[in-house]
Structure 1
Amino acid sequence: MKFLQWLHRWTGLILLIQLLLWTVSGLYFALVDHHGMSGRQHYQPLQSEPLSQTQLTNISASWWDDLSGVTKVHSYTTQGLPRVEVHHQDGIRYLDGRDGSEWQTDQDFAQQIAQASYSGPGSMVRATPIERTRELHDWRGQGFRIDFDDDLNTRVYVDRASGTVIDHRNTPWVVADWMFRLHFIDYTGGRNFNNLVAIAFAVMTLWFALSGFILLVKLLNSGEMRFTLRKASLTASVGEQQFKFNDKAHKTVLQVLQHNDIAVASGCGGGGTCGFCTVKTAPDTPITVSDRAQLSQAQLDEGYRLACQHSIETLHKVEVPAVEARKYALQLINSRFITPMLKELRFAVIEGEGEVEYAAGQYLQFLIPAGAGRSRPADVPEEFAEEWHAIEASEFKHDSVRRSYSMATAAGGNELVFTVRYQPQTPGAPAPGVGSSYLCNLKPGETIVAEGPFGDFQRLEGDERKLCFIGGGAGMAPLRALIQEELQSQQPRPMRFFYGARNRGELLYTDEFVALNNLNKVSFTAVLSEPRKTCQWGDAEGFVHEVARAWLEQQDISEYDFYICGPPRMLAATLAMLKELNVDSARVRYDDFGN
């Protein structure tokens, strides 16, 4: 689909250029009359006279005895000289009326003919023998081009064989000729409207229309395309407080609430996959696919819906659950790349803001300010340079957005630690890459505002079951915090941790978990899906959910609670695997990033 969008965009650009050419050339044809484009502004017809009786007597039929199928014989004078024009089945033959020889037009005589057909103020400056010219589309043969030094740069073309004026050309004609070429996509100048270029443009236009229709259907199905820019109002009740907001009708309830500083949990950034942004409205409100996937039937019957899946044009009044969240000003203390595309950021709460009280597994929403964002961070280590060679730095403007990141450590420290996976930046909000590019380019000492904490991806308390963690990529952050929190308890439960990455270079905090594994505190298995030949790993290869399944099939799975976090495909595959093993859903906790 991305290639289709790319090809559609460039095809549209080419067609737009041709549309501009049509517009310019069309205006030219509308403003310039036919005479001004003809090239014959100084043309006058040659005067031809019939032959005298004496001259006719001299003409002998034996002159064209070698011709077959003679249909017409025409005799006249050209510049006072008798000429005979014989039409036969193979063409036309021109004879000298004085002796029956082939008619010959030398350069001097060609100049006389050109002068006779010219009525302008200029004088002849040169005569050039020619055999072909781009200014005469259908003529081939031998002839002369006679140039005049008038204001139009007139050129008279004379045919050697017939001694006739083929045509006049000048600068206005050249301009008109190019306008015809541009307007009819006939760049050869042959006046052929079925040329290869025109056919290619027709095919390209058909492709543009079909691909545009396909992309339109995709946008309509995804709900990303709205047809209204009308204003609408939203009334939101938060506890005993009531607020009324007016905004663009296509905006979602979640966008309006967040824009007006109403704290609403959202882990997936509005993708409809985390199920956190629930609000209560009228029970007869239409139910979306995401509503049905994330909420129970009892919740749907009571009127609960996902705020990110409904616009304020269709949902005018909501009750927003009160959450214990507030805004904090954070200052970056340190940052470092721990994989080629993932950066660890350490923040401290600015003095006077208070401490962030959170539970392991929760997250903060970072308020990415509107403005210019830089695509490639400046501090990419040399060891990761190969991974970044195709990513260039770029600047563009974007609207303010919110991005959610889980704490990567348990509560109780002096710093808030996050792991941010870089995504290439693309224009538009809320486009992928805006938040990660901004955060990855923060320098120590710079500040940012975050709101929270949010989320219920927390440990199941009061249970003696063992813990099984399955994660991948940036899903390490909340899983690491949960493991640290469990280790801080008086009697840590047995823990098994399967962590997947593409190759060894993308593994996070490996040394830390290998050390915990050696101390028998956490049984740790790293799984690589695309191990490099030059960098083998000794734990396991394949997909992390498949390795975890092979182990679970040898265990009593009723002894375990499960915690899962990672990329969408990995998460979906792991949840499906646990369902196939008949694991009770009440013992499965997961965090859906949604992107």
Structure 2
Amino acid sequence: MKFLQWLHRWTGLIIVLQIVLWTISGLYFALVDHHGMKGHQYRSEPQLVNLDLQHARNMNPSWWSNFDDIRLLRHELVQGIPKIEVHHRDGVSYLNGQTGETWVTSENLAKEIALSTYSGPGTPTRVTPISTTRELHDWQGEGYKVDFNDDLNTRVYVDSTSGSVIDHRNTPWVVADWMFRLHFIDYTGGRNFNNLVIVTAGVVTLWFALSGFILLVKLLVSGEMRFSFRNVPLWATIGSNQHKFSGRAHKSVLQALQDNEVLVESGCGGGGSCGLCKVTVNGQAQITAAEHDLLSPQELNEGIRLACQHSIAKVQNVEVPEVNAQKHSLTLLTSRFLTPMLRELRFRAEEGDVEYLAGQYMQFLIPDGITAIRPCDIPEEFHPNWAAIQDGNFKHIAVRRSYSMATKQSGDELVFTVRYQPQAEGAQAPGVGSTYLCNLKVGEHVIVEGPYGDFTRMEGANRKLFFIGGGAGMAPLRALVQEELSTPEPRDMVFYYGARDSNELVYRNELEALAAAEQIHFVPVLSDAPSHSDWAGARGFVHEQALAYLSSIDIDEYDFYVCGPPRMLSATLDMLANLGVSQDRIRFDDFGN
């Protein structure tokens, strides 16, 4: 299905490009006169001069007996030389009337013949013998190309056998010729509309229509279009209670539950990459590729599915696990940029202390109807060359965004680091969630749900802790470090953290202070540090630097905690798998974006 969609999009792009070419060439044909397209701006027809009596007397009649069944004779003067055109049983012959021999066109004579049909301001500059040319379709033989030095780069083609002008060509003709090729998909210029390119274009268009029809049928069969304008019920069993909800059929089970205020864990926002929104389906539900990757065979056999992967039009009866989460109203205390793109937000919970474990996250409920959201003001000290982003003016629906706590539990205060997402090229607005949170003013309120997540410390094995992170992945890892240090006997910890440059090393001073006190082994790694900078630390990708360190120690002594951007996360998990680290010793947090 995905391949079919991919191929449908690309064939559509090809067709759109051809439509653009048709439009451009069609406009050209409408604006340019036919005479100009033929290349005849400086062409004139020479006055034909028939043979007079004196020329006839001087002609050599010996050729008369050389042809059988003569059907037609034509005669004219070509630059003072009588030329006889004889149509006979074997074809057409051209003769020099003075000698009776076959007509011969020299270079000088070709130039004179070309001049006799030329009315422009130029003069002949070069005479070139030719036997074929792309500018004359369906002509091949012996002839000459006569170039003129005028403003249109005129070229006159003379046939050597007949001593006549074949045609005129110039720059406007070349443009018109290409417009014909583009308009009629005849890129070879052969004036053949049954060519390979146009046949291919026809097949591509047929495939576009056929694949579009197949996709439409699949959408109708799946219910994503059939019920898109009507509500369908969703029966959800939560604990010992069953609830009936309703929602649009094209919505996922996760969206329907969240719309009806049911707390469901989801770290990736419904992207199908975190594997947290587990529900039990009472009935049949096709297993998706994401579920194959994120759920165990036992879970799949038990009917456990991901709520984000299924439409309520197909799955209308589910069991939702109860979570130890609730809604909280937070008041913003402080807001500051830590790096050019990472902002720290410190909140106070209005209801008092909030219990959570380091590594867990909250879901922020971004309200509906926010208009004229302004981009964040990036401090000049972080990015002197920051390009100003124009104010946006848009209206968005309510969304949920997940952010991990950046500190261990400390009463009623919660700290988050929010990565600001500026307006990308082609996008209508900057990131909705990050823009809204970065624009919160001190004293303003926001609603969150949680805590969620199992990215927490593993207890019992007494193994050391190995952290590998990057970007906004610092938040939960920092909280895990703080929580471990608060225990009576903290375990040894190694922390490899990757950033593009030194400006993005968030909480660097804090971690280097811990490293100086020998409470943690902290290694910052820069991937894009300029070669001329004064950076003396590790360079490259963070997982590669971590691999170099792991090759020198006993990895069985460590549990691993990984959090960061998707590519870094994927590369690190692959690296640990190649090292033979078992899954029960790895915990990771997938942002899903």
The interval holding the TM-score normalised by the smaller chain is 0.5 to 0.7
| Structure 1, unpaired ranges of 5+ | 27-63, 70-87, 91-139, 142-189
Deviation at 1:307, TM superposition (A): 0.3
Alignment partner, residue 111 of structure 1: none
Instruction: Give the gaps of 5 or more residues in structure 2.
Output: 31-46, 53-74, 78-118, 121-171, 188-197
Aligned to 2:491: 493
- Could you say if the C-alpha distance between residues 489 and 531 of structure 1 is closer, same or farther in structure 2, counting changes exceeding 3 Å? same
Q: Which residue, 533, 537, 540 being the options, matches 2:538?
A: 540
For residue 293 of structure 1, report the CA deviation from its aligned partner: 0.8
Query: Structure 2 vs 1, CA of residues 581 and 193 (structure 1 numbering), >3 Å: closer, same or farther?
Result: closer
Decide whether the 8 Å contact of 2:354 with 2:411 is kept in 1.
no
Superposition map of 1:306-325 within 5 A:
306-325=306-325
Query: Shift in Å at residue 196 of structure 1?
Result: 4.5
Supply the AA of the counterpart residue of 2:438: C
Distance 1:375 1:577, change over 3 A: farther
Q: Distance in 2 between matches of 1:278 and 1:453?
A: 16
- The equivalent residue for 2:304 is 304
Q: Which residue of 2 aligns with 1:345?
A: 345
What residue is the counterpart of 1:381 in the other structure?
379
Counterpart position of 1:30: none
Superposed counterparts of 1:578-593, under 5 Å: 578-593=576-591
Three-state SS of the structure 2 residue aligned to 1:409 is coil
Letter paired with 2:379: P
The 3-state SS of whatever aligns with 1:292 is helix
- CA 1:585 to 1:442, structure 2 compared with 1: closer, same or farther past 3 Å? same
Q: CA separation in 2, counterparts of 1:574 and 1:201?
A: 52
Alignment-derived partner of residue 193 in structure 2:
none
Shift of 1:441: 1.8
Q: Is the 8 A contact 1:501 1:507 kept in 2?
A: yes
What is the alpha-carbon distance in structure 2 between the residues aligned to residue 261 and residue 452 of structure 1? 13
Q: Distance in 1 between matches of 2:250 and 2:495?
A: 43
| Aligned CA distance change for structure 1 residues 192 and 502 (closer, same or farther; 3 Å) | closer
8 Å CA contact 2:512, 2:522 repeated in 1: yes
Larger displacement relative to structure 2 (382-391 or 330-339): 382-391
Deviations for 1:40-72, whole angstroms, at most 9, x for unmatched residues?
xxxxxxxxxxxxxxxxxxxxxxxx996569xxx
How big is the shift at 1:201? 6.1
2:225 paired residue number: 227
TM-score (norm 2): 0.65
Confirm or deny: 8 A CA contact 1:374 1:438 kept in the other structure: no
Alpha-carbon offset, residue 233 of structure 1: 2.1
* Equivalent in the alignment of 1:476: 474
For the Cα contact (< 8 Å) 2:464–2:559, is it kept in 1? yes
TM-superposed CA distance for 1:278, in Å, is 0.1
Tell me, in whole angstroms, the C-alpha distance in 1 between the residues paired with 2:212 and 2:524: 43
**Superposed, which structure 2 residues align to 1:80-479 within 5 Å?**
196-197=178-179, 200=182, 226-228=224-226, 229-231=228-230, 232-282=232-282, 284-349=284-349, 351=350, 353-372=351-370, 377-386=375-384, 388-389=386-387, 391-425=389-423, 433-479=431-477
Deviation at 1:271, TM superposition (A): 1.1
Q: Residue 283 of structure 1 contacts residue 300 of structure 1 at CA under 8 Å; is this kept in 2?
A: no
* Whole-Å separation in 2 of the counterparts to 1:495 and 1:379: 36
Q: Is the 8 A contact 1:494 1:521 kept in 2?
A: yes
Is the Cα contact below 8 Å between 1:549 and 1:577 reproduced in 2? yes
Residue 589 of structure 2 aligns to a residue whose secondary structure is strand
**Counterpart among 541, 550, 553 of residue 551 in structure 2:** 553
- Inter-partner Cα distance in structure 2 for 1:429 and 1:249: 27
1:234: Cα distance to partner?
1.2
Q: Is the 8 A contact 1:397 1:427 kept in 2?
A: no
CA distance in 2, matches of 1:427, 1:443: 28
Structure 1 CA distance for aligned equivalents of residues 21 and 329 of structure 2? 49
Contact 2:48 2:76 in 1 (8 A): no
1:318 and 1:430 map into 2 onto residues whose CA distance is 36
Which segment is superposed worse, 461-470 or 527-536? 527-536
Q: Output one character per residue of 1:95-150: Cα deviation in whole Å (capped at 9) or x when no partner.
A: xxxxxxxxxxxxxxxxxxxxxxxxxxxxxxxxxxxxxxxxxxxxx99xxxxxxxxx
Residues of 1 paired with 2:407 and 2:491: CA distance? 18
- 1:194, CA displacement in angstroms? 7.0
Distance in 2 (alpha carbons) for counterparts of 1:338 and 1:511? 11
Mean Cα deviation higher: 316-325 or 382-391: 382-391
Q: How far 1:475 sits from its partner (Å)? A: 0.3
Q: Number of paired residues?
A: 441
Does the C-alpha gap of structure 1 residues 326 and 65 become closer, same or farther in structure 2, counting only changes over 3 Å?
closer
Q: Distance in 1 between matches of 2:372 and 2:422?
A: 10
Query: Which amino acid in 2 is paired with 1:507?
Result: L
Q: Taking structure 1 as reference, are residues 433 and 443 closer, same or farther at Cα in structure 2, changes over 3 Å only?
A: same
Question: Which residue of structure 2 lines up, in the alignment, with residue 515 of structure 1?
Answer: 513
Q: Could you tell me how far apart the structure 2 residues matched to 1:526 and 1:518 are?
A: 14
> CA, structure 1 residues 278+192, in 2 after alignment: closer, same or farther (shift >3 Å)?
same
Distance (Å, rounded) in 2 between the aligned partners of 1:272 and 1:507? 29
Name the CA distance, whole Å, in 1 between partners of 2:9 and 2:564.
28
Question: Which residue type is aligned with residue 414 of structure 2?
Answer: L
Give the C-alpha shift of residue 339 in structure 1: 1.1
SS class of match (1:379): coil
RMSD: 4.5
8 Å Cα contact 1:281/1:317 also seen in 2? yes
Amino acid at match of 2:514: L
Q: CA deviation at 1:377?
A: 3.0
- CA drift at 1:403: 0.5
* Percent identical: 51
In structure 2, how many angstroms separate the alpha carbons of the residues matched to 1:10 and 1:542? 40
Letter in 2 for 1:458: T
- SS of residue matched to 2:491: coil
Query: Which whole-Å CA distance do the structure 2 matches of 1:438 and 1:267 have between them?
Result: 19
Q: Which moved more, 1:419-428 or 1:509-518?
A: 419-428
1:342 counterpart letter in structure 2 = L
Is this contact kept in 1: 2:371–2:395, CA < 8 A?
yes
* TM-score normalized with structure 1 length: 0.65
Q: Deviations over 1:428-459 (max 9, x none)?
A: 99998221121122222222111111101100
Which residue identity does 1:392 align to in structure 2?
Q
Contact in 2 for aligned 1:346/1:415 (Cα 8 Å): yes
Rounded to whole Å, the distance in 2 between the matches of 1:213 and 1:482 is 54
**What amino acid is the match of 1:561?**
D
- Given that 1:375 and 1:425 are in contact with CA atoms closer than 8 Å, whether structure 2 keeps it comes out as no
Instruction: Output the CA distance in 2 between the equivalents of 1:415 and 1:10.
Output: 55
CA distance in 1, matches of 2:277, 2:461: 28
CA gap 1:414/1:537 in 2 versus in 1, 3 angstroms? farther
CA shift, 1:325, in A, is: 1.3
- Structure 2 vs 1, CA of residues 582 and 414 (structure 1 numbering), >3 Å: closer, same or farther? same
